[in-house]
């Protein structure tokens, strides 16, 4: 189809998309593309919501969540993982090399080390400083579009027309130790159904988990909605029940035809789309204008 290959990412992720596109241009799988793509912000210390350089929890520890899903419905995930720069590749290894979908905390780290991943200190001087600043008041309150919201969710369609997705984050800054968000949860932060489409979420994970966000978006597309309509309805499920004025949630979706959609609760959600040879940042429509 004309719309393939396609890569779409939450927020301004020009370089991540470029890394994914490079894989797709060589005829690679969407799965390899999304893994390569999200590894860019994972290793980028200026991205304070993902991997290395991510802001720590309230105890000063960087704990990471990630998941990946392919066109066959295979999935892998890690939650509450410390000391590994590329949680997405650990999630991929969980998918490829274990009979499980999700590994957490110590067990996930143990598995990563056994797979040859290197143990590293991920707390950068900058993130440590922000944490020490936060400790002065130590008030946990999610603020709209905080953390520059660079958590990355990425969806891709390769030239075969197959879909995959990846999602990786250090989660909410200064969260409680042990807190896990939506991002590593299949059906919440990410869902792929190769017959229908895929979706990813960003923002306050608690709101997304309580509504099975990404799964809901894909199921709505199955019932005939466009990606845009599906994202809007999934956001509406949140705004109709929860006190949405206090937080942000953004959804991105693509369907099998290569159409895309996005919708957020608060303004200022954007995403990066590569399609037909162009890689550009687009502002999402929002519930609150």
Q: Give the CA distances from residue 200 to residues 38, 137, 143, 155, in Å, rounded to whole numbers and listed in that order.
A: 13, 33, 21, 7
Q: Is 183 in the site for ligand SD4 (CB under 6 A)?
A: yes
Task: Please identify, using beta-carbon distances, which residue of 42 and 147 lies nearer to ligand SD4.
Answer: 147
47 touching ligand SD4, by CB under 6 A:
no
45 assigned to active site: no
- How many residues sit in the footprint of ligand SD4 (CB under 6 A)? 14
42 binds ligand SD4 (CB under 6 A): no
Query: Which of helix, strand or coil describes residue 29?
Result: coil
Residue tagged active-site, from 63, 79, 124, 151: 151
Binding residue for ligand SD4 (CB under 6 A) from 92, 149, 225, 260? 149
Q: Is the dihedral of CA 170, 85, 148, 128 positive or negative?
A: positive
Query: Could you give the C-alpha distances from 53 to 47, 161, 198, 215, 229, in angstroms and in order?
Result: 6, 35, 28, 30, 35
- For residue 204, the minimal CB distance to ligand SD4 (Å) is 6
Nearest distance in Å: CB 266, ligand SD4: 12
Distance, in Å, from the CA atom of 230 to the CA atom of 219, rounded to the nearest integer, reads 8
The pair of structure tokens assigned to 27 is 């005829």
Nearer to ligand SD4, 63 or 162 (CB): 63
If binding is defined by CB under 6 A, does position 151 make contact with ligand SD4? yes
Residue 26 has a CB neighbour count (10 Å cut-off) of 10
Find the length of the chain. 289
Q: Binding pattern to ligand SD4, positions 162-181, x when CB under 6 A?
A: -------x-xx--------x
Task: List active site positions.
Answer: 151
Binding site for ligand SD4 (CB under 6 A): 49, 147, 149, 151, 169, 171-172, 181-183, 202-205
């Amino acid at each position: 189809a004309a719309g393939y290959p396609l890569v779409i990412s939450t927020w301004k992720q020009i370089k991540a998309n470029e890394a994914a596109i490079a894989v797709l241009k060589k005829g690679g799988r969407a799965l390899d593309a999304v893994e390569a793509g999200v590894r860019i912000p994972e290793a980028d210390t200026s991205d304070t919501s993902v991997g290395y350089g991510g802001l720590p929890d309230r105890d000063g520890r960087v704990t990471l969540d990630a998941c990946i899903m392919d066109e066959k419905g295979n999935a892998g995930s890690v939650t509450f993982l410390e000391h590994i720069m590329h949680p997405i590749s650990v999630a991929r290894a969980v998918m490829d090399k274990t009979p499980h979908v999700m590994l957490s905390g110590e067990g996930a780290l143990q598995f990563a080390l056994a797979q040859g991943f290197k143990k590293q200190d991920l707390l950068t001087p900058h993130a440590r400083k922000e944490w020490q600043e936060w400790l002065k008041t130590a008030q946990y309150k999610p603020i709209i579009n905080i953390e520059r919201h660079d958590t990355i969710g990425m969806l891709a369609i390769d030239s075969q027309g197959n879909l995959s997705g990846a999602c990786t984050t250090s989660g909410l800054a200064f969260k409680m130790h042990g807190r896990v968000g939506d991002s590593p949860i299949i059906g919440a932060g990410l869902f792929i159904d190769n017959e229908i489409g895929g979706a990813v979420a960003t923002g306050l994970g608690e709101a997304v988990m309580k509504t099975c966000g990404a799964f809901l978006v894909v199921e709505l597309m199955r019932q005939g909605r466009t990606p845009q309509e599906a994202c809007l309805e999934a956001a509406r499920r949140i705004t109709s029940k929860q006190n949405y004025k206090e937080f942000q949630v953004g959804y991105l979706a693509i369907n099998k035809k290569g159409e895309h959609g996005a919708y957020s609760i608060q303004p200022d959600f954007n995403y990066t789309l590569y399609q037909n040879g162009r890689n550009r940042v687009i502002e999402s429509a929002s519930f609150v204008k």
